[in-house]
Amino acid sequence: MAAEVLVRFVDRAFAPVRLPASSCLAEHLDVTNSPLLFGCRTGICGTCLIRVEGEVPPPGDEERELLDLLAPGDPQARLACQVELTCDVCVEPHPEAA
Ligand code: FES
């Protein structure tokens, strides 16, 4: 695995960010450097619902349960605070997050 991964945003108003591999988006992103919003940062509130392009590890059972409620049937939906960065990704706030 590479030491760093590149996080790009569909909203090109925000510059891509290089982050350490295996870290979490919530550790490094906020409203100053990304279009993503965070609340609890622990996988409970659903504020950080996003769409992810990239081969990241699948959601755990608790995340899956919340995703089924917030964005049923969307395989790209994830909670940004729960995504482990194992590869380059492109992310955007999920339309259901508004
Ligand atoms: S910030 Fe609350 S679920 Fe991610």
Instruction: Give the pLDDT score at 2.
Output: 81
Instruction: Give the pLDDT score at 97.
Output: 83
Q: Which residue positions in the chain have pLDDT lower than 50?
A: none
Task: Report how far ligand 1's centroid is from the alpha carbon of 68 (Å).
Answer: 15
Distance CA 16, CA 14 (A): 7
Instruction: Give the pLDDT score at 50.
Output: 97
Domains of the chain, by residue range, sit at 4-97
As for ligand 1, residues whose beta carbon falls within 6 Å of it are 38-41, 43-48, 79, 81
Task: Report how far ligand 1's centroid is from the alpha carbon of 26 (Å).
Answer: 9
**4-97: which CATH architecture?**
Roll (3.10)
Which amino acid is present at 92? E
Instruction: Give the pLDDT score at 98.
Output: 65
Q: Give yes or no for a contact between 53 and 6, defined as CB atoms under 8 angstroms apart.
A: no
Taking CA atoms only, the protein residue closest to ligand 1 atom 3 is 43
Q: What is the DSSP string of 33-91?
A: T-S---SSSSSSS-TTEEEEES-PPPP-HHHHHHHHHHSTT-TTEEEGGG-B--S-EEE
Instruction: Give the pLDDT score at 13.
Output: 94
Q: Give yes or no for a contact between 64 and 41, defined as CB atoms under 8 angstroms apart.
A: no
